[in-house]
Chains A and B, each alone.
Chain A
Amino acid sequence: KNQVEQSPQSLIILEGKNCTLQCNYTVSPFSNLRWYKQDTGRGPVSLTIMTFSENTKSNGRYTATLDADTKQSSLHITASQLSDSASYICVVSDKAGGTSYGKLTFGQGTILTVHP
């Protein structure tokens, strides 16, 4: 069964500090890995998407890494801001079999709270 596990479940940091969120997956065959940010009561918004051959990708203060051998990914947030408070969801897409749609498997999310 395809699974995506995230850690920690929740994290509290002070404004201006850095943090790193972790994601382990068992999705096969692997297509790509995405990180989404979801504000409370809103839909997820994509931060990064990485394919098998990509080791790192940045989007402003967000940097995602991917180790396809160990099936691990991390999301590093630099110089955190109050607006970074949200749930961060790791999502892995498999390579479609008979359909043209790669099914997404979502992690449960890491709830990040940034305090002033």
Chain B
Amino acid sequence: DTGVSQDPRHKITKRGQNVTFRCDPISEHNRLYWYRQTLGQGPEFLTYFQNEAQLEKSRLLSDRFSAERPKGSFSTLEIQRTEQGDSAMYLCASSLGLAGQKTDYEQYFGPGTRLTVT
């Protein structure tokens, strides 16, 4: 257990439905990351927060995806109008990080949320 938790662990939904995932990072970590991992592939970066500010978004994050971290603690990732291609493992990670510093701190991953769109 890395200290990063995600909820739910598994989600099955029908195409066209909206889903929301939650990530609770390690409490003292101010950086939070979302990744997507499809079967047999490594994780792909989706987006990154420094405290409550969303500093970077991947081109993978289409208009149907939105992520928030309103109080700089937990984060949510919402997918609207799900498609079968959205089926994947959604991983959250957190790390320390000081604004303006380029120091690269260790990222700790949560167990992931497995999404299946039928």
- Could you tell me the distance in whole angstroms from the C-beta of B109 to the nearest C-beta in chain A? 3
Asked if residues A43 and B42 are in contact (CB atoms below 8 Å), the reply is: no
Is B75 an interface residue, CB under 8 A from the partner?
Answer: no
Interface centre among B43, B91, B104 (most CB of A within 10 A): B104
Chain A residues, Cβ within 8 Å of B98: 100
27 contacting pairs across A/B (C-beta < 8 A): A31-B104, A36-B109, A41-B111, A41-B112, A42-B111, A42-B112, A43-B112, A44-B43, A44-B109, A46-B106, A46-B107, A49-B106, A91-B42, A93-B104, A95-B102, A99-B56, A100-B97, A100-B99, A100-B101, A100-B102, A102-B102, A102-B104, A103-B56, A106-B42, A107-B42, A108-B40, A109-B41
**Which chain A residues border B42 with CB–CB below 8 Å?**
4, 89, 91, 106-109
- Is B31 on the interface with A (CB-CB < 8 A)? yes
Residues of A in contact with B, size category: 20 to 34
Q: Is B2 at the interface (CB under 8 A from chain A)?
A: yes
Interface residues of A in 5-39 (CB under 8 A from B): 31-32, 36
What residues of A have a CB within 8 angstroms of the CB of B31 in the complex?
101
Residue of A41, A43, A102, A107 contacting most chain B CB atoms (<10 Å)? A43
Q: Which B residues touch A106, using CB under 8 A? A: 42-44
Interface size bracket, B side: 20 to 34
Residue A82 interfacial (CB < 8 Å): no
Task: Tell me whether A101 and B48 are in contact (CB under 8 A).
Answer: yes
Report A64-116 residues with CB < 8 Å from chain B CB: 89, 91, 93, 95-96, 99-104, 106-109
Bound CA–CA A91/B109 (angstroms): 13
Q: How far is the CA of A106 from the CA of B91 in the complex (A)?
A: 13
| CB pair B102 A41 closer than 8 Å | no
**When chains A and B are docked, how far (Å) is the Cα of A104 from the Cα of B31?**
14
Known: A42-B111, A43-B91, A96-B102. A101 touches B40 (CB 8 A): no
